Every structure is written in structure tokens, then in C-alpha cells.
Structure 1
Amino acid sequence: MAYDVARIRSLFPSLESGWAHFDGPGGTQTPRAVGDAVASVLTGPLSNRGTIGESEERAEAAVHRFRLAMADLLDAHPRGIVHGRSATQLTYDFSRHLSREWGPGDEVVVTRLDHDANVRPWVQAAEHTGATVRWVDFDPDTAELSTDAAAAALSDRTRVVAVTGASNLLGTKPDVAGIAAAAHDAGALVFVDGVHLTAHELPAMGALGADFYVCSPYKFLGPHCGVLAARPELLERILPDKLLPATNVVPERFEFGTLPYELLAGVTAAVDVLAGLDPDAAEAAESRRERLTASYAALHEHEARLLDRLEEGLAALPGASIRSRAARRTPTLLATFDGRVAADLTRSLAEGKVLAPSGNFYALEASRHLGLGDAGGLRMGLAPYTDDADVDRLLEGLAWALR
């Protein structure tokens, strides 16, 4: 069957508000099934994890199902799935864990395309240990990050290469697999920020060459938290500070304190919603990963069609400059308009219940490298529930604001 966006929109109670949401890169709307899953775990019998009684068993099941769901989504091992408060927190945690072995002469590679959450933790870890930071620039005209440029920054002293799977500001999808191959040849680990990528492309850690992969479920229909995936044997080699009575088992050794079981259930529900975007494929598939593969293919086709409409409409507006020009990119556009302040356009659109935020969205290095300073531009992101009427309202609102 064709992508049934009307059916998908019916899953989201918040859309009844009448707003057209283009703020998905900052966080999507939440399906009713996710809210129900959170409420069910939180209000049902619930205790700390264990095997005695229903309340302990429900907590244990929430953790187990969460790890299985995220492993299916990321093509990872369940024992390599770590929960965190946010992707930023997890990146800071692991920058500290890994940099314990760094010293003067060691190097870390970061890119100007990345969200600051995959830049500053590594820069600050290098400052604390005396290691050197190597920067990789992207082409501001094409928004492309060259694999050759990344490879040129490597040496036999490179310890970590931190790179985005997709830019949250521009949508650019660099050749992570190519960069990872070069990094591994140099003996370095690869830390991939998959926060923006996961919302639009089904990740496969092995194919990407990622040693570590972080993402944020609230960017793909889930609750506010973060997830890190890595090979269990790699996690076994990392010894974080922890409380003495706390378990040393992987991945629990990296999860400090009691887990939010209700949020874990919400993440599982979000993955299941994603796996059901194409119901026909869901019936034919033998595994959740197969259902996810089919659903993401349908989502990609839907978003690509809308992106073409949006780009064509933006190109016809006076003074418009689309900054998102990479050959491989997500359905996320950054645009500026001659003589107009992006924040003013955001406020004008909001008068018609269209939400398209403006700013640098914590991709500070990228915004500055584009010559946009800290102000950034107007960002428009598509999501599974975006339809043609939303796109029409955005373009009409911008045309009115630019008159």
C-alpha cells in the first residue's frame, strides 16, 4: 500500500492542535501508543528490578524489551545498549571514560559539521589531558564533509574520531563508513552522533563502522532520553567510576542509579510504531528489523517527495538561499532570506500555527563556518506525520511574511 500519512497522523494526539510542525529535528511529536506505554509501566505495579513479584518483574521486562528494541533499530547487540539521560550526557560520560588513557601527543578529531554535543566533550577532554584537537572543515558552499579531509587529519596518535551521521543543521550525511575505515586503519575509535540520522535513515552500526553510536529517542517519536550502542566486548574494556555495590556487568556498569523504567517502555513503543509505518510489510516480515527496514524505506520515499515540493517552493521565494545542498542529506533544510531576520520569520509563521524554528540549534561551529554567526537560519524538518497540507501552509506563510 502507499504511505498512508492520514493514518499515521491519527496516531498523534498533539496534531489535533492544528499546528503544522517542522520542528522535528529538535524533537518529534509523540504517538498515543508511546504515552500509553509510559503510563502503563509508571502506574502499574512497579518496583526496582528483580524476579520476586509482579512489580519487580515488570521493571525487569521494561529494561529487557528496551535493549532488544534499540538493538533491532540500530542493528546492534542488546548487551551493548546503554541508557542515558541524553545523548549529550552519554557523550560527556564516554569522553571522560576514554580520555583517561590520553596524554600529551595523543590526538582527537572533530568536525565543524557536528552538533556541539559531539564537539565540546572531546575538545574539553583533550584540554584536560593535554591531547591535541584536529579539526575537519566542511565546504560551506556545498555543505559537504570530505572523506579525504577527514582522513588527512588522522595520524598514528589519533585516539578518537567524532563525526555526525547527519547534520542536525544542514541535513548533510557524510560518508561515515569511509571515514570510519580510515580511522580504524589509523588505530582510532569512531564515535558517531546518530541523533539526527536515526530519525530518517535506519542505522546499521556495522555498516557505518561505528564503535560508539549515540541517539535520542525523542527525535524519533519516543520520550526524552538518550541511548548509546557499542560492541559488548568494547564496553567490557572500559572501566568507569561507579558506586562500590553497583553491578559491574555490561551495560549496566554505565547506567548510574535506578533506570526510568517508564521511559524505557516508551522507547520500545516508539520503535514499534516506527516498525509499523508500513502495515503491509509488517505482516509479511519475520522480524522487527525487517519491519523497520520496510517502514524506513516507505518513510524515505514519503519524505523525499515532500522535500522536492518544499525545495521547489522555497526556490521561488524572493531572496531565499537554501544552505542544505549536500548530495546525500536528510529532509531537513536550512534557509536564509536576504534582508530578513530568521527569528522574525519564525514568529510570523507561528501566527498561522506553523512551527519552523530559527537559530544555530547547537551546531555552533557549522553556523559560524557558514558565515551565519550564532544567529543561524530558518530550519525546516520533515517528519513521518508531515503531509502536503503542512508544506503548503509553510510556503504560503513564508510568502506572506516576505511580502
Structure 2
Amino acid sequence: MSEFSVQKLREAFPALRPVENKKPFIFFDGPGGTQMAQQAVDGMVDYITQGMANLHGAFLTSIRTDNLLLEGRNAIADLLNCSPTEVAFGQNMTSLAFSIARSLGPFLSSSDEVVVTELDHRANVDPWVTLAKDRGATVTFIPANPNTYTLELGNLHKIITEKTKVVAVGLSSNVTGTVTDVNAIIARAKEVNALVIIDAVHAVPHLAMDFKKLGCDVLLCSAYKFFGPHLGIAVIAESLFEKLPVYKLAPAPQEIPDKLETGTQNHEGIAGLLGAIQFIQNLGEGSTRREQLTSGMQRIAAHEDELAHRVETFLMNVPEVRLYRAPEGTPKTPTFAFTVENVPAREVTTWFAQNYNMCIADGHFYASTLADKLKVNPMGGWVRIGLAPYNTLEEIQLFEKALQEFISTHVKKLQPSQV
């Protein structure tokens, strides 16, 4: 993607437009949530201003809302390559995961096992750990390699056993960016008839998704990570969804996907989701929306990969920085976790915010198992810079300059007598 097209792309984001006499923000906090595309803003405003309503009424605004949900499911089906009837909306990914976990209770007993990972955000750990605790089942972790920041998959046959009923794994780490070989995990899980839940929250903004090809049972993601509003999305394979005994009101719909959507949904959020998907679609080419979305995601990835290579090369060559990045050859998203020698993470990010208006996050990012294993919590966790398609080479160059300035003024070297 040329610099010219990136500048044109940036015009689609209200938060990036210059404001007179105000220093612009530089958004490096994509992993925590991207900025919202104008199409998403317009979709929400149009729905709100043209008349809001609840579902299943005879009047026009209600009929429009019914159609809005259908359009939302169809759009997600094209983005993720699933059936519209497999798409359910919710408050957020975490709430949906807990709801699904509670519904899986009848399928587990005290003799069963649940498998999670040390690399994942706790949103794809604790719902399933809670499920296991409620049923008296055993929890097993797929370990993370502390040197490569990848999952150790060599003993899958010993970790995922005949007793395993649920396997939950993230497609991409929200800290290190590591893209996990979920195909090997899914294949082993299916050998023992275990259900597979994939956390794709951090992956969907960067990688073209194919639910059918993955062959998992549940895929979870969030619209605010790909240019839309705060809205959770669950894709549940029909074969599982049909028999899932969800907690719901007695008169509420029994059929899928409505039965998981307890209470009134965030209709204006779904309108914004449609706008966000339209934004991605407009970046691509093809004769169908699916083809256009796939092409659009590929263009996003090409641009981000180019910038990511520069960021990775730079951080790897700063002696005072420790970069937590998987080795060359391991697929990764453009997300970088690092620490600065002897400096608390919050001190680093505060300085960037105050001096350069850069939005850079710090903490454990709910990947607390990994943070404990890598012993980063005493210094406040990691500093994390994450890229989005609206980031530019000039912003990366300014980040490099700023980090070198910070190190020269804040990193105190020990004198020989102190060693």
C-alpha cells in the first residue's frame, strides 16, 4: 500500500483529522482498540436519528431493526466465512465466553479435562477454568515457551487426551503478536472429540479469517478491534449451537442464533459494525463482498507487515530494550511488547504521552499467566506498541526518535563500581 493510499485511508477516521492549535494524537494502541471508521460512526448516527426501535414490531422502525440484525449477521458471515445463523452478538467477547461456558456445563463431568494456554488473554482462560471448577473437572495448560513466546505443541497428545472435552486457544497473542498454529491443536482436539474455542479478538483486525476452514466450534471476536464500536461477536458451529442449552427467558426465541442473545441487543452498535465492515470492503477488490473483504484484509496486512518489520528491526537493536518477540519464521501480528532497562512501564508510556502525544499502553494486558511466567509485573508489565492500517512511516520514525531520546535521558547506566 502506497503512502498516498495510507493518507487517503486516514481520511476515513475522524480521530485522525487535524484540529487547529491541537497537537495530533499518534495512535499506537490498536491492540486495545482501533479508532472508529467514519462509516461506522455514520451507521450508528443514521440508526439513532432515523428512529430507534425494538424487534418484531409491525411498524417501520422495528422492521428496519429486524433487517439490521439480519444484515449484521450476513456481513459477519462474509467477513469470517460462516453461516449467518451461526452469528450471535453480545456485550463483549468476555461476556459471550462466560455465557457459552455456562451453557457447556451439562456436557462436562468431574472426570473430564479442560485445556487452556499460558499465552492467552484471560478472557479465553477464565470462562473455561470457571466451567471446569463448577463441574469438578481438571484444568491443563498448554505451556508457553519463555524464550520463543510461542506455545509448546510437541506434547499435544499428552495434554489433549481422551478425557479432554474443551480446548480454548488464542489465534494471536495480544501481547507478543505470536500467531499460534491452531490447526495442529484443532486436529488433535478433534481426534478425541473435544470442542475447540478460538479467541480471534486480536487476529481478526490483521488476518483474513475462514471459520469453515479452521474447523473450530466457537470463534470469538470484537468489533472495536476492527474499526467499529464496542460489540462482542460469537460464531458457533450450528452442530453445537443447536444443542447448546443457554440460559434465557422462557418466552424468548428458542432458535439459533437468537437464543444466545439475551435481552435487547446493541442495535446502534450493530449498525456501526456494518459500517466498519463496509470500510474494510472498500479497501479490497472482487465480485462478492467476501472476496472484497478478503482482499481488503490482505492489503491491510501488507501495509502493517512493512511497518512492523521496521519496528521489529529497530527494537531488536536498542541495547536498553528487551523485545518479547517470536523468532523469524513464526507468523506474527504487528504488536510489540517490550521493557526498558530499569524503568517502570508506566513511566515510559507517560513520558511518550506527555512529550509526543503517543498513545502507547502498558501493563499485563490480561495475559497475566504469561506476565507472571516472564516476571514482568514487578516493573508494571510491558510497554506495548501496536500498529493499525492508519499508522504511517513518519509516525514510526518519530517513535524511534522519541524512544532514543527517552533512553538517553532516563536510563541510568550502572557505574563499574556498582556492578
For 1:142, the equivalent position in structure 2 comes to 148
**What secondary structure, in the 3-state scheme, does the structure 2 residue paired with 1:135 have?**
strand
Provide TM-score, normalisation by structure 2: 0.92
Residue 360 in structure 1 maps to residue 364 in structure 2: yes
Q: Percent of counterpart pairs with the same letter?
A: 33
| 1:202-351 equivalence runs, <5 A | 202-278=208-284, 281=285, 285-326=286-327, 327-351=330-354
Take 1:233 and 1:126, find their aligned partners in 2: how far apart are those partners? 22
2:76 maps to 1:65 = no
Cα offset for 1:51?
Answer: 5.9
Report the equivalent of 2:386: 381
**Whole-angstrom distance in 1 between the partners of 2:216 and 2:174:** 18
Q: Secondary structure at the match of 1:5?
A: helix
- Residues 20-51 of structure 1: per-residue CA shift (max 9 Å, x gap): 11100000000111111001111212322236
- Mapping for residues 83-94 of structure 1, pairs under 5 Å: 83-94=89-100
For 1:34-45, list aligned pairs within 5 A.
34-45=40-51
Residues 337/149 of structure 1: CA separation in 2 closer, same or farther (3 Å cut): farther
SS in 1 for 2:88: strand
Deviation at 1:368, TM superposition (A): 1.3
SS at match of 2:61: helix
User: In terms of mean alpha carbon deviation, does 217-226 or 92-101 score higher?
Assistant: 92-101
Question: After superposition, what is the alpha-carbon deviation per residue over 1:117-169, rounded to whole angstroms, capped at 9, x for unaligned?
Answer: 01111111111110000111111111111333344301111110000010001
Task: Output the aligned Cα RMSD.
Answer: 1.4
Indicate whether 1:25 and 2:31 are aligned.
yes
Give structure 1 stretches of 5+ with no counterpart. none
Compare CA radii of gyration and give the structure with the larger one. Answer: 2
Which stretches of structure 1, 4 residues or more, deviate above 3 A after TM superposition?
none
Q: Work out whether 1:370 is the aligned partner of 2:371.
A: no
CA offsets, 1:253-283, max 9 Å, x none? 00001122111111111111112224xx2xx
Instruction: Name 1:9's counterpart in structure 2.
Output: 10
TM-score (norm: length of structure 1):
0.96
* Cα contact 2:335–2:386 (8 A) shared by 1: yes
SS at match of 2:17: helix
Cα distance in 2 for residues equivalent to 1:335 and 1:363: 14
- Counterpart contact for 2:104–2:245, Cα < 8 Å: no
Kept after mapping to 2: 8 A contact 1:177/1:207: no
Equivalent of residue 395 in structure 1, options 400, 403, 418: 400
Amino acid at match of 1:358: D
- Contact 2:119 / 2:367 at 8 angstroms: preserved in 1? yes
